[in-house]
Structure 1
Amino acid sequence: MPDADPDSSLWAIELRNAELREVSFAVIDTDSFMVRWQRQVEGTDWWTSLTAFADNRYYLHNYRYPEVPEPTDLLAVNAETGLLSWVLANHLLVKNAGKGLLEVAIKQGDSFKHQHCNASTGELLPLNTSLPESADAIILAEPVRYIEGNMYFDRLAQFISDATGGHIPVAIDYLEKRPYIIFSYYIYEQDKTVQYLLIVTDQKQQVLHEKLSEEREGTGRSTMMLKASTLVYLKNSNEFSSLTLS
């Protein structure tokens, strides 16, 4: 998940070890290709999930009752150190309200009470309805998934087949960053699913064609994302790579 600051090159990453049922978190810098830090965060468990990254903190939801798919607590983690900053029990994050504030909510009966919260300290404040709505600028572009049966699938599949010398996709993820067109697609090879990344220009010039993973059990989700001109994608299910489209 990228920092909400459009000028930042930092991303927060959620890492899961299914065998140990452990979750850890990391912050990476896509400009310097460095991992700033990686750690298990105090107060988290297997059910904890990453929900936002803003104001030099990233925010986690805890689920005290895993059988109920509803967050119960909000945690803030310092993005520079990976250390826990504050916890709001029984609250969930609604949105980043801007100006160093978050909008949070606490359940009261069948409804929710909304408040503001200081992003740095976790201090609860009355909801200020006079604050202007924060701009809904799209800082993260995720691909559109096309599968057989979709009205555009055959056309995209034929384009990929022509560009790659015969690959026949079974699923296609599609992104645009003009003049670039980006495909993450899956084919069958010897009864296994193999994933490729293909980048071409709108003049059909091939920029990159790379195998991302092989012998997969199926197709993944959110294996590539675009923030501004930086494409971040996942290789071999556990390796993050990035490139700048300029």
Structure 2
Amino acid sequence: MLKKAFHKQFEGIIWKIRPDESASHLALEVRNTEKRLTSFSCIRTTGGTWTFDELQLQEPWFCGLEGLAHGHAYLHGYLSETLPEHRGIFAVRLENGQIAWEDYNLVFSHATGEGLIAWNYKSEPRRYQLVDPQTGTTVRSFASREESEQLSSPISAAAVYLPSKVTLDEEWLRHLPPDALPAADLLQFNQRWLLAFYTADEGEETASLTENKKMDHHLYVINNERQVIHKDLLGEGILQPAMDTFFVMGNQLYYIKSKSEILAYFL
């Protein structure tokens, strides 16, 4: 059996998950389509405590999560309600959820070892600049994105392990339910196999990932003796295969259940 690190259910769909570069914090973007509300939460992975929970911006819906770096989560707005282009940076402290700074004119590009690379949405052509991640002030400007990459160093990030798409052979399938489908997501980590697979939903005689039939989505953790030491039902009655349903960071397994729950277990 695996020991649970944390479990939380949200009132909405977990839309996006981002870790910081040290793997010490994990932030989530949750969208409630019925209420048209977007909220943001962050957990300290080493202790399982939520440093902020269901944080909302003044704009309740047209906003999102860019990424985490340098002790902050960076949120964005949109250029308009009808355009997908991002506008604005809101820097939220990971330790307490307080907004450290905001700039409605900047657009987030990416984080580097020195800070943030961004541009002013009004500039044409784009003029990239290095932004101090603690204050939002411009440190220097660049003539192009290429120059910004040449004069900055990549941010050093902790490893995140994702599963690979596989087709299970008969040896694998005989350890699974008889209606398990061969298409699956598989990751070997710490002498264990992490496996997400599908079965035909109750009432469906057969199913495949290419047919318009309902499936159930399962997660198994299997040891080297092919014994199942943890299992969970990730989703029921789904028509399309899920994307990126689990990952490993540090020594913990993280996964999404029923679109609205996040769980973590020690491996």
User: Would you call these one fold, judging by a TM-score over 0.5?
Assistant: yes
How do 1:1-20 residues align onto structure 2 when only pairs under 5 Å count? 1-6=18-23, 8=24, 10-20=25-35
Post-superposition offset of 1:172: 1.9
Letter in 1 for 2:125: S
Residue number among 138, 161, 164 corresponding to 1:124 in the alignment: 138
**Residue matched to 1:214:** 236
Q: Residues 42, 210 of structure 1: CA spacing in aligned structure 2 closer, same or farther, 3 A cutoff?
A: closer
The Cα offsets for residues 58-110 of structure 1, whole Å up to 9 and x where unpaired, read as: 011211324322212221112222232222223222222224x1111234665
Post-superposition offset of 1:210: 2.5
Which whole-Å CA distance do the structure 2 matches of 1:206 and 1:77 have between them? 40
- Structure 1 unaligned spans of 5+: 147-151
Residue number among 30, 45, 52 corresponding to 2:67 in the alignment: 52
Residue number among 78, 92, 110 corresponding to 2:93 in the alignment: 78
Q: Residues 44, 132 of structure 1: CA spacing in aligned structure 2 closer, same or farther, 3 A cutoff?
A: same
How do 1:20-99 residues align onto structure 2 when only pairs under 5 Å count? 20-99=35-114
**Residue matched to 2:188:** 176
Which whole-Å CA distance do the structure 1 matches of 2:133 and 2:189 have between them? 32
Identity of aligned residues (%): 22
Letter in 2 for 1:168: A
- Computed over aligned residues only, the root mean square deviation of the Cα atoms, in angstroms, reads 2.6
Contact 2:64/2:77, CA 8 A, preserved across alignment: yes
Which whole-Å CA distance do the structure 1 matches of 2:26 and 2:155 have between them? 20
**Residue matched to 1:236:** 258
- Structure 2 unaligned spans of 5+: 1-17, 143-147, 205-213
What's the TM-score once normalised by structure 1's chain length? 0.82
Higher RCO, 1 or 2 (CA under 8 Å, sep at least 6)? 2
What's the TM-score once normalised by structure 2's chain length? 0.76
**Residue matched to 1:149:** none
Post-superposition offset of 1:13: 1.1
Post-superposition offset of 1:138: 5.4
Residue number among 124, 127, 139 corresponding to 1:113 in the alignment: 127
Mean alpha-carbon deviation: is it higher for 203-212 or for 18-27?
203-212
Contact 1:157/1:169, CA 8 A, preserved across alignment: no
Post-superposition offset of 1:125: 1.5
Post-superposition offset of 1:14: 1.0
Which whole-Å CA distance do the structure 2 matches of 1:133 and 1:86 have between them? 24
Post-superposition offset of 1:37: 2.5
Post-superposition offset of 1:137: 4.4
Which whole-Å CA distance do the structure 2 matches of 1:141 and 1:117 have between them? 30
Which whole-Å CA distance do the structure 2 matches of 1:159 and 1:95 have between them? 44
Which whole-Å CA distance do the structure 1 matches of 2:246 and 2:82 have between them? 30
Residue number among 143, 158, 163 corresponding to 2:163 in the alignment: 143
